[in-house]
Structure 1
Amino acid sequence: MKKLLLLLLIPIWVFSSPLFAAPLDVKPDPPVSDPLLPTEKDPFFKNSSDIIAHSPDVAEVKVVHHHDLNKKILIALVVSSSLLGGILLLLSCFSIYRLKRLKKCNEKSGQSSDNAKGISFGPILEKFGSLKIGGKKGSIAAIEYQLLVAATNNFEEGNILGEGGLGCVYKACFNENFHAAVKKIYAGGQEVEREFENEVQSLSKIQHQNIVSLLGYCIHGEARFLVYEMMENGSLEFHLHGPSHRSTLTWHVRMKIALDVARGLEYLHESCNPPLIHRDIKSSNILLDSHFNAKLNTLVQLSDFGLATTGGNSNKTNIKLSGTLGYVAPEYLLDGKLTDKSDVYAFGVILLELLMGRRPVEKVDETQCQSIVTWAMPQLTDRSKLPNIVDPAIKNTMDLKHLYQVAAIAVLCVQPEPSYRPLITDVLHSFIPLVPVDLGGSLRVTEPVLSTFV
């Protein structure tokens, strides 16, 4: 404020200083005539003031009228007023801008307090709003247990989305704009808890459009909870083997799902550092969102503490075997050798499920089971028999040339010898021409295919 007053007073001081004041015209008088010889222009002894004025030893003083002084003071006042008005205008504009900014900030904070219960999970949850969390480690949120209780209505049975060997998955409603899935896992012990937290942080770094995003976690007593994005259409297993009789999965949608899974696997194998092996690719771990985009569920690996890194040949005695019967590669099951080709084998089984609509392992009789690979292999390589084993829900709906191509890819993926199987990158590029443009591939079709399942 002092600086402002100083700025206002400077113009007045400048224009009122002696430099700008009315000057006194001081100059020596010209020589006067001889007083003894008066002239007509200068009458002799006009009055006493004349004697003083014309004294040869006294300078003549001429006073300028006050008109010039008043004019300069007026100019100074006008300039000062203009400057003062400009400054006041700027201050007014700045005050209005500050008020608007404060009002907008107050509105945002009001909305946050109404719609949310705390601070944000991080970049993953920016589109969902804010949730209250207990703490943060890295980029993933440690969520308060009471918040999970409220979101799942105290883990109500009606909110169960699915069940597994280690616990249930619940639908959680944090607010009207944000729903998520909460997986409850039972395990205890300080060492297990520390290992669980470390694995959560590792999985939180995996970010891809075809991999389910981990949003948060919670540890409460001996129970552990994972919070991840909601996949509205459930699992591929439900659509292939559930009560829907596969009617929602057209040929093009199945090819899109296969392409999405290949993209997710390629990310794990090629883009992660170090490269990761999923170890448990199966139809129940392939989840579908509201537009039937497929995403790999890597969070199930937390029960076994983690995705495996590619490290060549592992010995059966020093590796914990994981996976599901029917999807496990022979070399992994028999010798404990785990490589990225183990995931490729499981992907081949998924392709057979998509083609035939059959489970990976089916009972032949009460004492014997048969794998889909063993049953289908002789018919996959016979073009005359292949159309007869296709899922009835999609039979006669695809180009036979495309059917033969997909069958050939599946045969390569399920080869007993890992070195004969293709890399997932090669599989990915083989599927792109088989998927319509509308669904993320390069195939041109005459009619839009999105309308067939949305």
Structure 2
Amino acid sequence: MVLSSQFSLSELEQATQNFSDMLKIGEGGFGCVYRGSLRKTTVAIKKLNPESLQGLLEFQQEVDILTRVRHPNIVNLIGSCSKIWTLVYEFLPNGSLEDRLVCADNTASLTWQARTRVISEICLGLVFLHSNKPHLLIHGDLKPENILLDANFISKLSDFGISRFIKQSNTNTTVFYRTIHPAGTFGYFDPEFLSTGELTPKSDVYSFGIIVLRLLTGKPAMNIASLVRESMRTGTLQSIVDKSAGKWPFDLAKKLAKLGLKCVDLNRKRRLDMSQVWATIEPLVNDASQLKALSSVGFSSFNEEHIPSLFICPISQEIMKDPCIAADGFTYEAEAIKTWLNRGYNTSPMTNLVLPHHDLIPNHVLRSAIKEWLEHN
């Protein structure tokens, strides 16, 4: 299917059985989301509210952003229909991170290993947005409802209706978007944005920190920072971590708690930026990967039909046959990363940072693990 296609009203009506309530999979102030079958592909179709001026603005914003930004941890926009303000996305069958946190429909709880991986994927998506050239991109409404999970439980950022492109400065001056009508979601909302009307990359950092603390504790967003801060002060962190995730390694839980609290500092100047966050998270993810068996997808009800996320190429989203490590430290399918480099890109597909070189190192350990897993499945 061609990306960013223009679909007709009749095509979308046929795909959704005339926008049947039976196919509705989400609903909010923005409008409704439907599951549909379009050109022999299962898709998610978001129909924005035509009676809302905000609906038109969000429609235009999503199209503008998602036709310019591509990343493995950002949802793909397939196309749109401007006649009825409707957007067509790739279908992500495992719902939102919020669904998984509340175990909607009696689904299994995410394990601590899976939560650590999700944190890393959200981080990479934000690193990419905040380093986008020539204009960095601020999400502006980061929350578990706007983080979706694909068939392999890979996290993807979604809902860019209030996001903003910001021109980057050549100086150290803080870049921001100013508004007299701050929008977002309470609990994840940057307090400085609310008081000043200035949306900055550090606003996303605040929201990210709340999500980290939620994944760690399973507690609601409101007042979660105060709860974790008090547990750190009294040495009772282990009593508030989410036990449905399994037995958290104490050192990992403590590091994630400290990271989350640094991100939600009320003074945005004291918050980390996302590249600093990644420098903290990367070794934690590596440690978590070493602690869990390669054959586990990271969920408490492991099903061998699931594909371990380590085996999936971040670019092609397929099981790797010839995994190679690039200069950014990530492993890709050799053909996919070579194609990326041959197209003239000199940045990492995962972080958007400049690659110091284009050399590739075969990942023999992972290749053997994939081969063994395929033989037994």
Asked if these proteins are the same fold (TM beyond 0.5), I'd say: yes
Which residue type is aligned with residue 21 of structure 2? E
* 4+ aligned runs moved over 4 Å, structure 1: 188-199, 313-316, 444-447
1:324 Cα deviation from its structure 2 partner: 0.2
**Kept in 1: contact 2:214–2:220 (CA 8 A):** yes
**C-alpha RMSD of the superposition:** 2.7
Secondary structure of 1:301's aligned partner: coil
Q: 1:309 aligns with which of 163, 166, 174?
A: 166
Which residue type is aligned with residue 26 of structure 2? G
1:153 Cα deviation from its structure 2 partner: 1.1
Partner in structure 1 of residue 8 of structure 2: 144
Is the aligned partner of 1:380 residue 2:232? Answer: yes
Q: 2:268 aligns with which of 384, 396, 418?
A: 418
Which one scores higher on RCO, CA 8 angstroms, separation ≥ 6? 2
Cα distance in 2 for partners of 1:261, 1:308 equals 19
**Kept in 1: contact 2:127–2:275 (CA 8 A):** yes
Partner in structure 1 of residue 33 of structure 2: 169
Is the aligned partner of 1:434 residue 2:297? Answer: no
1:444 Cα deviation from its structure 2 partner: 5.6
Kindly provide the CA deviation profile for residues 406-453 of structure 1, in whole angstroms up to 9, marking residues without a partner as x. Answer: 11111111111111111111212222222258xxx8646455332644
Is the aligned partner of 1:206 residue 2:69? Answer: yes
Partner in structure 1 of residue 295 of structure 2: 448
The structure with the largest alpha-carbon Rg is 1
Secondary structure of 1:211's aligned partner: coil
Cα distance in 1 for partners of 2:201, 2:227 equals 25
Aligned length: 296
Partner in structure 1 of residue 362 of structure 2: none
Cα distance in 1 for partners of 2:271, 2:231 equals 19
| Cα gap change, 1:188 to 1:142, in 2 (>3 Å) | farther
Question: Which piece of structure 1 moves more, 373-382 or 410-419?
Answer: 373-382
Stretches of structure 1 that go unaligned for 5 or more consecutive residues are 1-119, 125-139, 362-370
**Within-5 A mapping of 1:30-429:** 120-121=1-2, 124=3, 140-176=4-40, 178-187=41-50, 196-197=59-60, 200-220=63-83, 223-243=84-104, 247-297=108-158, 300-302=159-161, 304=162, 306-309=163-166, 312=174, 318-361=179-222, 371-382=223-234, 384-395=235-246, 397-429=247-279
| Cα gap change, 1:273 to 1:245, in 2 (>3 Å) | farther
Kindly provide the CA deviation profile for residues 15-50 of structure 1, in whole angstroms up to 9, marking residues without a partner as x. Answer: xxxxxxxxxxxxxxxxxxxxxxxxxxxxxxxxxxxx
Cα distance in 1 for partners of 2:278, 2:153 equals 18
Cα distance in 2 for partners of 1:227, 1:418 equals 35
Identity in percent: 33
TM-score (norm 1): 0.60
Partner in structure 2 of residue 92 of structure 1: none
| Cα gap change, 1:194 to 1:307, in 2 (>3 Å) | closer
| Cα gap change, 1:310 to 1:413, in 2 (>3 Å) | farther
1:187 Cα deviation from its structure 2 partner: 3.0
Question: Which piece of structure 1 moves more, 183-192 or 410-419?
Answer: 183-192
TM-score (norm 2): 0.71
